[in-house]
Structure 1
Amino acid sequence: MRVKGIDVFSGAGGMSIGASWAGIETIVAFDTDIHAAKTYQINHPETLVICDDVRNIGDFGIYRPDGPFVVFGGPPCQGFSTSNQRTRNTANENNWLFQEFLRAVRQLNPDWVVFENVRGILETANATFLQHVIRGLEELGYVVNYGLLNAADYGVPQKRHRLFVIGARDGTKVELPQPQCTPYVTVGEAIEDLQLLPNGAKFDQLKYRCSAKSEFAKLMRGKNRTSSNHHVTRNAPHIIDRYKYIPQGGNWENIPDDLMGSYADKSRCHTGIYRRLKINEPSVVIGNYRKNMLIHPTEDRGLSVREAARLQSFPDSYQFSGSIGFQQQQVGNAVPPLLAKAVFESLGK
C-alpha cells in the first residue's frame, strides 16, 4: 500500500515534490498564501489544496486517510531567520505556529512526522521553539530524531542548511539521510542549458539554449522541450552599472564608492548584498534573491525565476503562478525538493 502524505504549511510544494519522488502520495495540502496555493494546485491537480490560515481549521482529523501516512511541513520561518533579529524571540506570534503543526499531528495521529525549518530555530531564544516541537512530539508517542542537513549534500546546487525533525510512532528511531552527492553540483551545471536573458526579461516559455550536459540538468528537464517562468526583475541602469564591477564570488565591496551614493553608509551593507554567484561552485542560499540582488555568474542581471528554481532543484515541468514578486517568493521560501526526497526516503529505511 502506497504511503500517503498531508502537507501542512505547503507553500509552493517543494516538500510535496520530494515526497512524490520518494513514492509518497500527498492527498491534502494547507497554506494561507493564495498565490502559493494556486501554484501548488496547478502542479498537483490530484491533491486537495485548502487555502486558509491553519488556525481556522477546526479538525484536521477529518482528512485522515486509510493506511500508513506521514504529516509533514515547515511553519513560517522568517521569525527564526538570522536576518530578522527583531523578530527572533518568543514575542513574535508567528514563531508559535509550530503549535498548529503539533495540533494537526495530535488530531491526525500519523505513522510518521517530518518537521522542517531554518537553522536559525536552533539559535532563537536558546532553541526554545525546537525544544517545544521535540517535547510535543514525544508526548504524543513519537520517537524523535533531528539534525541539520546541507542541501548540497543531496544533489541540490546550493549550500542551504535546513533543520529536520523526524518522528516515528512505531518506536523506531529514523536515521537522517547520509550525504549522497560528491562532488557538489555547481551553478554552471545547473543552469548552463537555459537561455541567456536580458535585464527585465518576461518570457513564459522558451526552448533550451543547448543540450543538457550535466546529469542534474537532464533530471530537471525530464522530457520537456521548453521551460517556463523566465522572468527577471528589471533593475535600474545605475544598479546594472554596479553589477559590472563585481567578479564571481564578489559582492558590494567590489563596487566603487562613487556608484554607491544611494547608501548612507556603504560599510553597513550586508555581506550577501550584490553577490555574484560562482559558476563552478554551488549557489549561496537563494532565499529572497531579489532583495539581496543575487547576480547571474556571467551576465549583468539578477536571476530569473527559472534559474532560481533550478538552483532549488524544482523540475522544469513545475510552473509558478502570480506576479514575478510572488513567484520569486515561492521559489525562495521552498524546501529544495531533492533534499526533501532524501529525508522522505529515510522513512522507508
Structure 2
Amino acid sequence: MLKAVDLFSGCGGLSLGFQNAGIDIRAAFENWEVAAKCYELNFNHPVYRTDLSDTKNAIKLIKSLNPDLIIGGPPCQDFSYAGKRIEANRASLTTSFAKIVCTISPQYFVMENVDRAQKSNAYATARELFKKANYGLTEVVLDASLCGVPQKRKRFFCIGILNATDNILSEIIKSNLSSKPMTVRDYYGDTLGFEYYYRHPRNYSRRAIFSIDEPAPTMRGVNRPVPKGYPGHPNDACPLNDSLHALTTYERALFQTFPASFKWEGNKTDTEQMIGNAVPVKLAEYVANALLTYISQQTSKYSNVNFESWLIEVKNYSQRSAKDVISRCKRANRIVPFNQVPDPFYIFTLEQQSEYNALSTSVKSQIKRALILQQEFNG
C-alpha cells in the first residue's frame, strides 16, 4: 500500500478521496487552525500545523515519514489569468510545494489547483524544478462532472512519477472519463427533496437558479440566501419564486461529494470557505485510481515470473542464475525505484546514489548487467 502525506490539506477532500482509493495517508499538513481541527475530526492520522513556506523545517519533518507519494493543493486564491493581475505572495507556496517534493524525492506526487494555475508564473517555476528532479509529468485539467462528481468544476492536476516519461498517465485518465456530465439527480436521485435551487452568482450577469437535472455550478467559498433584489436571469432553470430553495451548508458539502457523516468545525463563514476550497472527494478518488491503475499495470508488465521464464527459456540461464538476476534488479529498485524499463538514464541515476557506490565493483557490475537484461526483456 502506498504511503502518502497531504500538504495544504484543508479540511481533507484530497485526503479522503485518496484514502477511499486505498492509499495510506500517514499525515496531513495544514496551517489554518480551523481546517486542521476539522481534518482531525474526520481522520485518524496526525495533522501538523506547519508553515510550509519554511521548506527546510518542513522537509525535515516530512522526510521522517518516508512517503511514497506526496499530494497537495497549494493555496490558489492569488492566481490570476496571465496578464490580468500580478500574482500575490500566497502563489509562492506552489514553489514551496515543488521544493519539498524535489528534495524528498518520493516516487510519486500529485499537485492540484484551479485550472488557471497552469498558466501562472508560480507553476512555471515549480514545473522547472520538477523536471530538473527527473519527474515525468502528466498535466491535465479535469472537469469534475466527468469524474463522478455532480458539479461543473474544473481543476488542474500535475501528477509526477520519478524517472518516467511525460504524459504517461494521460491515456488512463482520459479513457475513464464519463461520456456525459453527472447531474445532481444522477448522484442523489430524489433524496434531496427539491428540484430547483439558488446558488449566488459572482455577479448578476450570470444565472443563479439551477435544476438538479444538470451538474451543479462550482461551489465557491461564499453562500448567500436569495436576495430581495435578485433580478432574475434569462438562463435560470425556473422563474424566481418565494419558495425557491437556497442551498444549505450541508448540501454544498454533499455537492462536493463529502459523505453525509463528515463532521464540520468552525463558524458558518469558515465552514463555507473550507467547502469551497476543497477538492471534491470523488474527483480526488478518480485521480488516485488512475495512478493506482498505472502502478498495477507496471507491476503486471514487469512480472518477475515472466522475466524468470524468459531468462531460462531464451537466455538459457539456470533457475538459480535467473533468480540471482531478479534479486539484483530488486536490489537496484530498493535504491532507486523504477516503474518503467530501467533504461540508461535510470542506470545513470542509480550510479549517482551513495548506497550504490558503497557496493563492491563486482556487485555493481552484476546489478548493471541484470538491469540491462530486464531492459532487453521489456523490449
TM-score by shorter chain over 0.5: yes
Match of 1:279 in 2: 212
**Mapped partners of 2:139, 2:95: distance in 1:** 18
User: Is 1:7–1:29's contact at 8 Å kept on the other side of the alignment?
Assistant: yes
Return the index of the structure with the highest Cα Rg: 2
- Which of 169, 185, 194 is the equivalent residue of 1:175? 169
Deviation at 1:9, TM superposition (A): 0.5
Counterpart amino acid of 2:269?
G
Secondary structure class of the residue paired with 2:216: coil
User: Is 2:11–2:38's contact at 8 Å kept on the other side of the alignment?
Assistant: yes
Aligned Cα RMSD in Å?
3.1
Q: How does 1:186-265 map to 2 (within 5 A)?
A: 186-191=183-188, 192-194=190-192
User: Is 2:59–2:103's contact at 8 Å kept on the other side of the alignment?
Assistant: yes
User: With structure 1 as the length reference, what TM-score do the two structures score?
Assistant: 0.70
**Mapped partners of 2:213, 2:131: distance in 1:** 43
Residue 332 of structure 1 pairs with residue 276 of structure 2: yes
Residue 118 of structure 1 pairs with residue 118 of structure 2: no
User: Is 2:17–2:285's contact at 8 Å kept on the other side of the alignment?
Assistant: yes
Secondary structure class of the residue paired with 1:95: helix
Q: How does 1:9-158 map to 2 (within 5 A)?
A: 9-45=8-44, 47-56=45-54, 58-64=57-63, 69-80=68-79, 88-90=85-87, 92-123=88-119, 127-158=120-151
By relative contact order (CA 8 Å, sep 6+), the higher-ranking structure is 1
Q: 1:314 to 1:62 in 2, by over 3 A?
A: same
Secondary structure class of the residue paired with 1:156: coil
User: Is 2:99–2:129's contact at 8 Å kept on the other side of the alignment?
Assistant: no
Deviation at 1:80, TM superposition (A): 1.7
User: Is 2:95–2:123's contact at 8 Å kept on the other side of the alignment?
Assistant: no
Secondary structure class of the residue paired with 2:78: helix
Deviation at 1:43, TM superposition (A): 0.6
Deviation at 1:94, TM superposition (A): 0.9
Match of 1:311 in 2: 255
Q: 1:159 to 1:250 in 2, by over 3 A?
A: closer
User: Is 1:79–1:95's contact at 8 Å kept on the other side of the alignment?
Assistant: yes
Counterpart amino acid of 1:77?
C
Mark the runs of 5 or more structure 1 residues left unpaired by the alignment: 197-246, 253-267
User: Is 1:142–1:169's contact at 8 Å kept on the other side of the alignment?
Assistant: yes
Q: 1:63 to 1:249 in 2, by over 3 A?
A: closer
Secondary structure class of the residue paired with 1:15: helix
Q: 1:141 to 1:300 in 2, by over 3 A?
A: same
Deviation at 1:12, TM superposition (A): 0.7
1:113-165 deviation per Cα after TM superposition (whole angstroms, max 9, x unaligned): 11111012234xxx322221211111112111201110001110001000111
Q: 1:315 to 1:303 in 2, by over 3 A?
A: same
The alignment of Structure 1 onto Structure 2 pairs a total of residues equal to 275
**Mapped partners of 1:292, 1:249: distance in 2:** 8
Counterpart amino acid of 1:160?
R
User: Is 1:275–1:293's contact at 8 Å kept on the other side of the alignment?
Assistant: no
User: Is 2:102–2:129's contact at 8 Å kept on the other side of the alignment?
Assistant: no
**Mapped partners of 1:335, 1:175: distance in 2:** 20
Moved more, 53-62 or 339-348: 53-62
Secondary structure class of the residue paired with 1:60: helix
Secondary structure class of the residue paired with 2:53: helix
**Mapped partners of 1:74, 1:316: distance in 2:** 23
Match of 1:225 in 2: none
Q: 1:157 to 1:293 in 2, by over 3 A?
A: farther
1:158-194 deviation per Cα after TM superposition (whole angstroms, max 9, x unaligned): 0100011111114244314124334432123445414
**Mapped partners of 1:344, 1:32: distance in 2:** 24
Q: 1:6 to 1:293 in 2, by over 3 A?
A: farther
Q: 1:172 to 1:347 in 2, by over 3 A?
A: farther
Deviation at 1:343, TM superposition (A): 1.1
Residue 343 of structure 1 pairs with residue 287 of structure 2: yes
Q: 1:277 to 1:112 in 2, by over 3 A?
A: same
User: Is 1:59–1:107's contact at 8 Å kept on the other side of the alignment?
Assistant: no
Match of 2:363 in 1: none
Counterpart amino acid of 2:272?
Q
Counterpart amino acid of 1:3?
L
